[in-house]
């Protein structure tokens, strides 16, 4: 079974045998375009070319035939296609912050309470619907050509199978889905004047959505006729790969973004402070809080100040710094922020710098700041009535002993890792196994998941210290938000000397 993850930095393909073992993997990258501050775009054709490269590489390593394929990828991105299925313009990504005006307009048109009731979420800049309105407002000629609207992984599905399809978990991030009924909302589409025929059919994640065509087979190294599962948004797919399919089961992911994900069982409206989405498990739901620049903060820090250094060297130095970084706080709002502030104009920074602080102090503060931001999300999840007893870690940050321990101490929960940790692509492969009949259902597919014996346990003394630091961290945004907005205005006024 193969899982294909169309991520922000590149494509990752993973081949998994029925016992859950990883047989082979392959990756291929593509560029991220940032034409203006707060704008992020990618070319869907780059996704397809990278997918072909990764799949050809993967299949060349396999001794057994591929029986099923599952798709996953970055959520919320907008792919605009014309009547001949050609890409009209580069896709606007999940991290793109240009749609504050359109998000506000959606809230005014639909009404905040009604929007939460139907879509389960407020209008946020990262979601897909505001991007559609932005195209209408700012690029009317392009908008007039639109005939199809897809999410990132679903564009790759189109190239693989010729089918227009998506799944309920990924569709939850469009702001156009009725999350209770798990289908497109006619009320929202009518209110926003978005034609229903633009949208693909919505499936449950393990459902069959088509088969690999002869043309795609020739380009990817796959065999034609391979079943392709609906798949899931990256976080829901990662949750399947971690076995997060029971109420209260939770995971923490540190990739480019940071996510605290919990299976909420049924639909729980959290007042818009947390995302409320359909799970990749049919009939189930999840809540999650998002830090837009989690691992992205550490990548920025490394690239800006320590080019050429690897993350292991940076975190090794940071591990020698006392907990709390001797009074230094970092705020990871490099791309605005999602949870709990819902503020595209939030800006990052350090607070508490002194001449005593070194680069190692600042590295540790970056990592601690990300942990504090995820503590904000956990507090909201607990307040919504979901009891979390442990976390399973995934993403690049999960490979860091220091980051896992920081999370255990800050969140006051044991943090486990699975034996196989291949992120969303692994969960997508399991979903492909369900669609192709290897497993009867998602529950059976997750029976192959095993935990490592040891977990990072909270240290009581550090946990108490971090409780006090987090209180200071949480107090900063309310008093600094107006200044952050002023700086954002100055940066975007178009005046450069």
pLDDT for res 272: 76
Whether residue 310 lies in the annotated active site: no
With H, G, I as helix, E, B as strand and everything else as coil, classify residue 350: strand
**Cα-Cα-Cα-Cα dihedral of 300, 305, 306, 307, to 10°?**
70
Cβ neighbors of 282 (< 8 A, separation 6 or more) are: 204, 205, 206, 442
pLDDT for res 211: 98
pLDDT for res 396: 85
Mark 92-108 as b/e (b = at least 16 C-beta within 10 Å).
bbbbbbbbbebbebbbe
Cα(1)–Cα(23) distance, integer angstroms: 10
Which of 96, 234, 343, 421 is an active site residue?
Answer: 234
Q: What is the DSSP letter of 118?
A: H
The answer to whether the CB of 435 falls within 8 A of the CB of 68 is: yes
The residue ranges of DSSP E strands in 183-270, in sequence order, are 183-184, 201-203, 208-211, 227-229, 232-233, 250-254, 258-265
pLDDT for res 47: 98
CA R_g for the chain: 22
Place of tokens 């990592």: 367
Place of tokens 């991030």: 173
Cα(373)–Cα(410) distance, integer angstroms: 10
Q: CA angle, 357 as apex, 290 and 412 as ends, to 5°?
A: 40
Domains and CATH numbers, the chain: 2-238 (3.30.420.40), 244-417+459-492 (3.30.420.40)
pLDDT for res 491: 84
Cα dist from 109 to 103, 106, 123, 396, whole Å = 10, 5, 11, 40
pLDDT for res 344: 85
Tokens matching residue 353: 């710098």
**Cα-Cα-Cα-Cα dihedral of 44, 45, 46, 52, to 10°?**
120
Counting DSSP H helices and E strands in the chain, the numbers are 17, 23
H/E stretch holding 443 reads helix 442-445
Cα(302)–Cα(370) distance, integer angstroms: 15
Counting every residue written for the chain, the total comes to 497
Cα(365)–Cα(410) distance, integer angstroms: 13
**Tally of CA atoms within 13 A in the half-sphere of 294 that contains its CB:** 28
Return the number of other C-beta atoms located less than 10 Å from residue 354's C-beta. 9
Give pLDDT tens digits along the chain (497 positions). Answer: 999 999 999 999 999 999 999 999 999 999 999 999 889 999 999 999 999 999 999 999 999 999 999 999 999 999 999 999 999 999 999 989 899 999 999 999 999 999 999 999 999 898 999 999 999 999 999 999 999 999 999 999 999 999 999 999 999 999 999 999 999 999 999 999 999 999 999 999 999 999 999 999 999 999 999 999 999 999 999 999 999 999 999 999 998 889 999 999 888 877 778 889 999 999 999 999 999 999 999 999 999 999 989 899 999 999 999 999 999 999 999 988 988 998 888 999 999 999 999 999 999 999 999 999 999 999 999 999 999 999 999 888 888 999 999 999 999 999 999 999 888 999 999 999 999 999 999 999 999 999 988 899 999 999 999 999 999 999 999 999 999 999 988 887 755 45
Largest CA distance in the chain: 64
Return the number of other C-beta atoms located less than 10 Å from residue 225's C-beta. 10
Region of 169 (left: φ > 0; alpha: ψ -120 to 50; beta: rest) is alpha
pLDDT for res 494: 59
pLDDT for res 495: 54
Which residue(s) pair with 287 in the sheet? 262, 276
């Amino acid at each position: 079974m193969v899982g294909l993850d169309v991520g922000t930095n590149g494509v990752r393909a993973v081949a998994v045998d029925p016992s859950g073992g990883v047989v082979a993997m392959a990756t291929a990258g593509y560029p991220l375009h940032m034409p203006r501050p707060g704008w992020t775009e990618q070319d869907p054709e780059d996704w397809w070319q990278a997918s072909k490269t990764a799949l050809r590489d993967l299949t060349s390593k396999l001794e057994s035939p591929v029986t099923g394929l599952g798709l996953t990828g970055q959520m919320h991105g907008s792919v605009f296609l014309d009547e001949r299925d050609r890409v009209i313009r580069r896709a606007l990504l999940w991290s793109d912050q240009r749609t504050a005006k359109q998000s506000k307009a959606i809230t005014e048109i639909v009404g905040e309470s009604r929007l939460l009731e139907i879509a389960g979420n407020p209008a946020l800049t990262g979601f897909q619907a505001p991007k559609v309105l932005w195209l209408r407002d700012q690029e009317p000629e392009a908008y007039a050509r639109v005939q199809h609207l897809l999410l990132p992984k679903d564009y790759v599905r189109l190239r693989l199978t010729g089918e227009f399809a998506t799944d309920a978990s990924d569709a939850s991030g469009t702001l156009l889905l009725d999350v209770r009924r798990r289908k497109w909302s006619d009320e929202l589409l009518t209110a926003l004047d978005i034609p229903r025929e633009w949208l693909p059919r919505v499936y449950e994640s393990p459902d069959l959505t088509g088969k690999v065509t002869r043309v795609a087979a020739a380009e990817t190294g796959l065999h034609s006729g391979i079943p392709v599962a609906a798949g899931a948004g990256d976080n829901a797919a990662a949750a399947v790969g971690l076995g997060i399919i029971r109420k209260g089961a939770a995971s923490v992911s540190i990739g480019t973004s940071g996510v605290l994900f919990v299976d909420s069982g049924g639909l729980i409206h959290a007042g818009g402070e947390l995302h409320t989405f359909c799970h990749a498990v049919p009939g189930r739901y999840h809540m999650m809080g998002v830090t837009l620049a989690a691992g992205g903060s550490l990548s920025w820090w490394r690239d800006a100040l320590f080019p050429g250094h690897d993350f292991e060297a940076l975190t090794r130095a940071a591990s020698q710094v006392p907990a709390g970084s001797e009074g230094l706080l970092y705020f990871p709002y490099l791309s605005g922020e999602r949870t709990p502030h819902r503020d595209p104009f939030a800006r990052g920074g350090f607070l508490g710098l002194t001449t005593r602080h070194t680069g190692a102090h600042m590295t540790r503060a970056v990592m601690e700041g990300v942990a504090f931001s995820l503590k904000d999300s956990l507090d909201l999840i607990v307040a919504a009535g979901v009891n979390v007893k442990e976390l399973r870690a995934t993403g690049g940050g999960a490979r860091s002993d220091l980051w896992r321990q920081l999370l255990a101490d800050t969140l006051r929960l044991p943090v486990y890792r699975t034996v196989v940790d291949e992120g969303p692509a692994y969960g997508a492969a399991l979903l492909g196994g369900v669609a192709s009949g290897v497993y009867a259902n998602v529950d059976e597919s997750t029976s192959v998941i095993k935990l490592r014996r040891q977990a990072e346990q909270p240290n009581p003394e550090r946990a108490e210290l971090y409780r006090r630091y987090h209180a200071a961290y949480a107090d900063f945004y309310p008093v600094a938000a107006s200044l952050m907005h002023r700086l954002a205005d100055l940066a975007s006024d178009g005046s450069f000397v």
